[in-house]
Amino acid sequence: MSRIDRRVALAAIVLCAGGAAVACTGPSPTRPVSVKASADGYLRDGRTPASAREPELRTGTSGVQAHVAYLRFQVTDLPKGGGKLRAAVVLTPLPGSTEALIELAAVPDTGWSDRTLAQRAPLAGRVLGSSLLAAGAEDLTFDVTRAVNGPGAYSFAVTSPGKIQRFYSSESPTGAPALRLTREPGPARVPSPDDRWPRPTDFPTTRPVPSPTLPSPSLSPSASPSPSASPSPSASPSPSPSPSPSPSPSPSPTPSPSSLPSPSASPSPLPPTPTIPVPTGPVPTGTGLPTPGLTMRPVDPDPHDPPVPDCVLERLLVPTCGILTGVAPAAHTSQPRDEAMREFEAKAGRTQQIYHAYHRGEELFPTPTEISLAREPGKNRILFLNWKPYKMTWAQVAAGEFDPVIDRLAAHIVKNFPEPFYLTVHHEPENDVDARDGSGQTAKDYAAMFRHVVERLRGKGVTNAVTVISYMSYIPWNTQPWFGDLYPGNDIIDWVGWDVYAYSDAGFGFGDFVEMVNRTKQGAQWPGFYSWAARTFPDKPLMVAEWGVWQSSGNPAHKPWFYRTAFDQLALFPRVKAIVYFDSPNAEGRDSRIDATPEAQAAFRDLMRSRVFDVRLR
């Protein structure tokens, strides 16, 4: 069988796996149409294009340098017949490929070409598929049926959060990228609105159709720490776990950041299990950290190029392209929240699209201050409200003992705030899990609690809450046998989030943006949170619900260097649709402020100038 025949066969297999049962069991599909890329290329650091005639595409990281590949296909001919059109992108790895997570995202048509890619590179939209590239694989195929609906121009971004992976480009004599079009056997059908993507709407008006509860991830049992052990951050890089029973009954106006244990808290060993091996980025050393350079070739604009489309919100507050940015400002301080928000925005040089606030127990939210921030003229921020029921166990909340409080909250929201907002119920639950039967605080109790709260709110008319589960993302918890039981189900959760911080001293959590977002640990059977979430929640947008960089007096250059790595490395995580900073002068002894030094503030302001955050809210 020739390479072309194998590619067509593989594309057919992928389309069958994607749901084309008729094509698999009925008569053979019509003869496929193969479309060669009309343009392809890759960017280094989002700015520097590869040679227009380079015979390969690259994606992934080399040192801290991010590479993203782009494909553009011009479809003019379609397969004969009246059955449903199906499409697959086929890539051919160069010899020597290694195991890696590869993702393909739809991007808007900006009219880019090999010559203008650096100036008109599109921002990633919906991820259409993830594939685990096997070492030595001959082909890699992505089902893109939901993005291709007829003649026209189609663009895609190819990304990887791991080491550089190389594929043949259209300049190569063999193995060029191809868009394979086939039709399912059957009569002609009238296209429906669901055949087109994206389908933006201003705001959600109804809940998504419920889907089955997601099975728990396949993680083998491991030696478990004490169920009540709760790692907590401190000024020391080696905190010890301390007992943490049920949630504290003492309300606090500000939240606690993610617990960030040190290398002394060893992960539980796991027997070999199928994982997604994605290497993390390199660890920088010393204080003489480099600043990525800016290299752009001036290109005269083509008056015939289509305008670059806006990134806007679709249902469930998901941007069609780009990333939302937000903040929990002046955390662990008594500064008024509206004053803190405006002060942070002045320091960052950009209005933040998300305002993150924390509530406990019987507090009613959103508060008048939060409502005024959401409705401030010219700002139109989205609220991200974090609520922890307390003074009772998760099992008691799930059993209805907290219902009077939930009902009062629902009435308050319905009366005062019809706008859509993000809602988390008890963020970072992992260190509050007590795995003993009957404790009321098992992982399954948490899932039941989350489900009950959301269903109760929806039943009382709160249909504007877009739900986010916020994991702690601490590796020893991620690899516990109960970890998958925390998830309440696809019909309850709209977004998947995680909280993660970067250290500025060598050791645990020290590195670049890639290391933080997709952190692994040698000896732990954990692929990194992003890699795990990409495979476990393929249809959910992802949110870095808390992030920050701890200041170090011994290595003050790390924080500004880190912000600069984020500028380009964000493109390697196309599923991430929102990042929310946690800005605090004293998060249990640690300083995450963006203006801890003038150099840090300048670098963060540079990050905020990235066009990836140019998402129009209204």
Give me the chain's average pLDDT, please: 80
How much is the pTM?
0.80
Pick the last residue of a domain from 163, 192, 221.
192
Asked if residue 333 and residue 186 are part of one domain, the reply reads: no
Pick the last residue of a domain from 192, 217, 244.
192
Domain span at residue 91 reads 3-192
* DSSP character string of 307-350: PPPPEEEEGGGEESSS-EEEEETTTTS-S-HHHHHHHHHHHHTS
Sequence-separated contacts (24+) of 454-462 with Cβ below 8 Å:
454/423, 454/425, 454/488, 454/492, 455/492, 456/403, 456/406, 456/407, 456/410, 457/406, 457/409, 457/410, 457/413, 458/207, 460/406, 460/407, 460/410, 460/411, 460/414, 461/410, 461/414, 462/410, 462/413, 462/414
pLDDT exceeds 80 at position 11: no
> What's the mean pLDDT in 520-525?
76
pLDDT for the residue 189: 53
* CATH number of the domain within which 421 lies: 3.20.20.80
Whether residue 110 lies inside any domain: the answer is: yes
Whether residue 494 lies inside any domain: the answer is: yes
Asked if residue 328 and residue 186 are part of one domain, the reply reads: no
Whether residue 23 lies inside any domain: the answer is: yes
Whether residue 361 lies inside any domain: the answer is: yes
- pLDDT confidence band for 545 (50 / 70 / 90): very high
Whether residue 76 lies inside any domain: the answer is: yes
Residue 460: which of 404, 414, 424 has the closest Cα? 414
pLDDT digit string, tens, across residues 101-127: 999 999 988 888 888 888 888 899 999
Pick the last residue of a domain from 172, 192, 212.
192
Tokens 């004599």 belong to 173
How many domains is the chain built from?
2
Whether residue 224 lies inside any domain: the answer is: no
Q: How far apart are CA 331 and CA 501, in angstroms?
A: 15
Whether residue 287 lies inside any domain: the answer is: no
Whether residue 582 lies inside any domain: the answer is: yes
Asked if residue 184 and residue 40 are part of one domain, the reply reads: yes
pLDDT digit string, tens, across residues 590-600: 999 999 999 99
pLDDT for the residue 180: 96
Q: 6 vs 311, which has greater pLDDT?
A: 311
> What's the mean pLDDT in 444-453?
98
DSSP-based three-state secondary structure for 42:
strand
